[in-house]
Chains A and B, each alone.
Chain A
Amino acid sequence: MSAIFEVERLKKSFGGLDVTKDVSLSMAKGDRIALIGPNGAGKTTFVNLVTGHLQPNSGRVLMDGEDISKFNPMRRVKAGLVRSFQVTRLFSEMTPEEHVALAILQREGKSGRLAGNFHAMPQVMREMGSILETLNLGTLATVPVGEIAYGQQRLLEIALAMALRPKVLLLDEPAAGVPHSDTFLIENALAQLPDDLAVLMIEHDMDLVFRFAKRVVVLAAGEIIFDGSPRAVTDDARVREAYLGSYAHASSAA
């Protein structure tokens, strides 16, 4: 059993509404999983529960066999569990260079230093340079993020995740808000992620899902209704019903 990340019987309800019902999931090193589901299925809630931004009613989250259910969000990041956001969250007045350097310094526990500057730290500069080059952001390194295009901001979100060197990365709709014609940029960026990193991606763009994922998990009404290969998911009757309701049968009959 080489699961690096496990979720055991996670439950969450808001008032009488069960948003997450008994969700279990496990990921191994190098996994590429897509988490899909219709709107309101509880995908983002799932990410918030796992990253500690919401407290579950019951269930456990384990990293490398260690129970991190009691950790606050910051400690979970330090344990190697990193997320990205559905809507870009960046520092609009700061440059990509500063963003990535800050993430590297934070990872190395140096972000509290009161003196010095990342420009004078060769290994930080080198790593930052290579991350930005990898994501084709090199030419924008010193432009304030508020002035760069949204698609490039999405790439910077991925750059930040890379700079934190996570063991498990949760990507919440990395291509959201990016024109369909530019999705390939995101896809190329995702292809640059380290091979041994376990990645779970929430995404609505099915082309991206099928090209990226080795495994697809479908969440509907707070439950996992499918967990298997991308090829099998389109034929699954429950998945069709979750997405299409009663039309599923009509279309299959046609």
Chain B
Amino acid sequence: MSATEISAPFEQAKPMRRPWQRDLAGVLIIGVAAVAGYFLFPDNLALLTRIIAIMLLVLSLDLVTGYCGVATLGHAALFGAGAYAAGIAAVTFGITEPLSMVAIGAIAGAVAGLVSGVVILRGHGLAQLVLSIAVIHLFHEAANKASTYTGGSDGLSGIAPDPVFGLFAFDLWGRTAYVFGIGLLILVFVLLRILVRSPFGTLCRGIRQDPIRVSAMGASVKASLIKMYVISGAVAGVGGALNAVSTQVVGLDSLSFTNSAEALVMLVLGGAGSLYGALVGTIVFMWFEHVVSAANPFHWLTIVGALLIAVVLFAPKGLYGTAVTLMKRFIGSRQ
């Protein structure tokens, strides 16, 4: 058709630098927050590192739930697979180089993502949710029974990672683990920003909004979702491996339903469908949990519950999503 040869003033009108500048700003914010955390809470680095690991889990969940619209309560299966794979690699096979452990965790997470994706995507809606719960219970039970490798309910201990790059040993205060975690988080964050802007990212957002339209364009909804599940698994696996490397133990709780459900709560709290939302939700939830449980060990769960109800009722887009909406309204009213 001849119409395609007319060149419209579109290409030059589009500012191409803006998204990269925004990503750079995102990386800078993470960096500044990381430095602030390091100096403000030097005694809590282990908690901060744990938060980073869970952030990776919540980012991974955001890919399938926030971007693709798949409801799942079994996402910790991917995180736990990464944690156990990295732990078993170190304890049983003597692979104690930390970056190799993370790579093994990512691969194991991707495989777990493939397996659970194939199972969970058989169903829709409620059936999908129930299948995801079944998946997490099966993973949990498999890890429990395979105690030769996993240590069963005692947990897998004796993980002794080598120094990072052969230079920075993992210390008692968790400084190395923290910096290692921040490095992984920034790397994953940048890769995911590229991913969600890519053609595949756009396709997945389309699938969440109308899968029938996507198939009428000739794209396979299922194949795309499984591909995203594999990517998501790799991200969660990195989180699991980070947890194994930093705490040097892996427990069955990493493969638990509770861990899955909490990840979903954090995502909803921060705002699904945005990488920043996933990060904000994790920090707020885990920090709140930490502070409130120390202040009132008896009623802290009640307070967490009240916070959640408040967010879901009054800020249904999550903390980050609502903040963005308010900002836009503010800027709009000034113009």
Contact = CB atoms under 8 A, between A and B. Distances in A.
Interface of A: 51, 73-75, 77-78, 82-83, 85, 89-94, 98, 101-103, 105-107, 110-120, 122, 125-134, 138, 141, 160, 162, 164-165, 192, 194
Interface in B252-301: none
Given A102-B199, A112-B203, 12 more contacts: A78-B218, A83-B216, A94-B209, A113-B199, A114-B195, A115-B194, A116-B198, A127-B4, A129-B7, A130-B3, A133-B6, A162-B1
A116 to B, nearest CB: 6
Interface of A: prevailing SS: helix
B216 A194 contact: no
Residue of B7, B8, B205, B212 with highest tally of chain A CB at under 10 A: B8
B210 interface: yes
B215 A105 contact: no
Contacts of B212: 85, 89
Interface stretch (B10-18, B30-38, B177-185): B10-18
Contacts of B6: 130, 133
B197 interface: yes
A126 B216 contact: no
Contact of A102 (B4, B9, B19, B206): B206
A90 B8 contact: no
Interface stretch (B45-53, B88-96, B128-136, B219-227): B219-227
B100 interface: no
Contacts of A120: 16
Contact of B4 (A73, A91, A130): A130
Nearest to B202: A102
B8 A194 contact: no
B203 A106 contact: yes
B314 interface: no
B10 A118 contact: no
Interface of B: prevailing SS: helix
Nearest to B216: A83
Closest 7 pairs (CB-CB, A-B): A77-B218, A129-B8, A129-B10, A91-B209, A194-B1, A89-B213, A113-B199
Given A77-B218, A112-B224, A117 B197 contact: yes
A103 B11 contact: no
Residue of A82, A126, A165 with highest tally of chain B CB at under 10 A: A126
Contact of A106 (B10, B16, B197, B218): B218
B227 A112 contact: yes
A252 to B, nearest CB: 42
B200 interface: yes
A126 B13 CA distance: 12
Contact of B10 (A91, A117, A128): A128
A112 B207 CA distance: 13
B8 A91 contact: no
A160 B219 CA distance: 13
Contacts of A77: 215-218
Given A102-B202, A113-B198, A115-B198, A91 B11 contact: no
10 contacts: A77-B216, A94-B205, A94-B206, A101-B202, A102-B203, A111-B202, A111-B203, A118-B199, A125-B11, A129-B9
Contacts of A130: 3-8
Nearest to B203: A111
Given A102-B199, A117-B198, A120-B16, A73 B215 contact: yes
A165 B224 CA distance: 22
A126 B9 CA distance: 8
A116 B16 CA distance: 12
Contacts of B205: 91, 93-94
Nearest to A160: B217
A109 to B, nearest CB: 10
Contact of A119 (B16, B203, B206, B213): B16
A115 B217 CA distance: 21
Given A126-B7, A129-B8, A130-B6, A89 B216 contact: yes
A92 B6 CA distance: 28
A132 B194 CA distance: 26
B210 to A, nearest CB: 5
A94 B216 contact: no
Nearest to B217: A106
Nearest to A165: B1
Nearest to A105: B199
B14 A125 contact: yes
A120 B12 CA distance: 11
Given A73-B215, A102-B202, A102-B203, A119 B7 contact: no
